Structure 1
């Protein structure tokens, strides 16, 4: 096992970031402030395991963290007017958490392996409406960032991951879709949701 993947600090959230996406966070708990300091001290190699929170799981048994997660790096930070630390993380790689340990202050750490479930493929014609609607969402909500480039909008995996971040789907649904060997089932699912919302 790659030693860099044996001691990843874990950050369970109800919001989700996947590879290629970014997320802004407000950090205030001491254990997570320590996590940010530790990861930033590692430079470009520092990673946080951004995890999906399982509301039906047990904190005591660490089943409140779903196994599929995203290794993310801190790309920006600021000291906010409200006294909290603001950071921006970028999803780098998908991973699977195999084992969880707990520090004295409650910070979880994971032994993880990289998950290469979805290969990059071109977005099929039948799903072009997903890319077009996604571009509209970015125009309507500039806080999401600049409008995606054409090469990103042509990538089925990238388009699929952004919709999975944006839509209020339950974590168990996202886990099931992300567990598939390709993004095709997720594209079918998302396509049906978007078309239904537009009717």
Structure 2
């Protein structure tokens, strides 16, 4: 595996492979970054922000693609990102324009696997969550509620947890601990 330089966009949010997030771009330097990504100068990595960190994020990030964009009424830019590949940030440097470029190494994405048995409850709960939060559902052309990895990653993106705790689950070799965690969380709220 070889390292790759990527532009680094950090937010207080989590984006994982096959996930989608809408991000508002206000500052001119970030507009320049988006333009440079479109021009193919470098790929884009989305990372969860970490206060007082150098770099200003956790070392686990997701290479993503800009799949849609819109100019908003206040002249800011709204972009929709789709996660593609998990990456590890080996190092990062802040450029003169205050943007970060990171040296990254690809990590193994979680393998797809069917969801079955009592874990079907987490899939049904996610479907219900999307019905209550239609603005999140609208980001997707297709939801893959039959895939345990897809469902687990979407839960990690939306659960109100500390980012460091989410990343402990993200850094597992597969989705099983996340499935167990979410199932126990749902059961504890049902009882």
| TM-score using structure 2 length | 0.91
CA RMSD, aligned part only?
Answer: 1.9
Q: Report the 3-state secondary structure (helix = DSSP H, G, I; strand = E; otherwise coil) of the residue aligned with 2:24.
A: strand
CA contact (8 A) 1:99 1:112 kept: yes
1:30 has 2:18 as partner: no
Q: 1:49 aligns with which of 27, 45, 50?
A: 45
Q: 1:86: how far off?
A: 1.1
State how many pairs are aligned: 190
4+ residue runs of structure 1 moved beyond 2 angstroms? Answer: 145-150
Q: Within 5 A, what are the aligned runs for 1:53-92? A: 53-55=49-51, 57-58=52-53, 61-62=54-55, 64-92=56-84
| 2:131 aligned partner | 139
Alignment CA distance shift 1:135-1:148 (3 Å):
farther
SS of alignment partner, residue 62 of structure 2: strand
Matches of 2:109 and 2:36 in 1, distance apart? Answer: 29
Measured against aligned partners, the alpha-carbon deviations of 1:46-69 in whole angstroms (never above 9, x if no partner) come to 6311101123x43xx32x310111
Q: Does residue 110 of the first structure (1) align with residue 102 of the second (2)? A: yes
Stretches of structure 2 lacking an aligned partner (at least 5 in a row): none
Q: Deviations over 1:2-37 (max 9, x none)?
A: 4xx522010111012111111111101122111100
For 2:17, the equivalent position in structure 1 comes to 19
Equivalent pair of 2:18/2:83 in contact (CA under 8 Å): yes
The structural deviation recorded for 1:197 is: 2.4
Q: Distance in 1 between matches of 2:105 and 2:18?
A: 18
Contact 1:118 1:157 in 2 (8 A): yes
Q: C-alpha displacement at 1:113, in angstroms?
A: 1.1
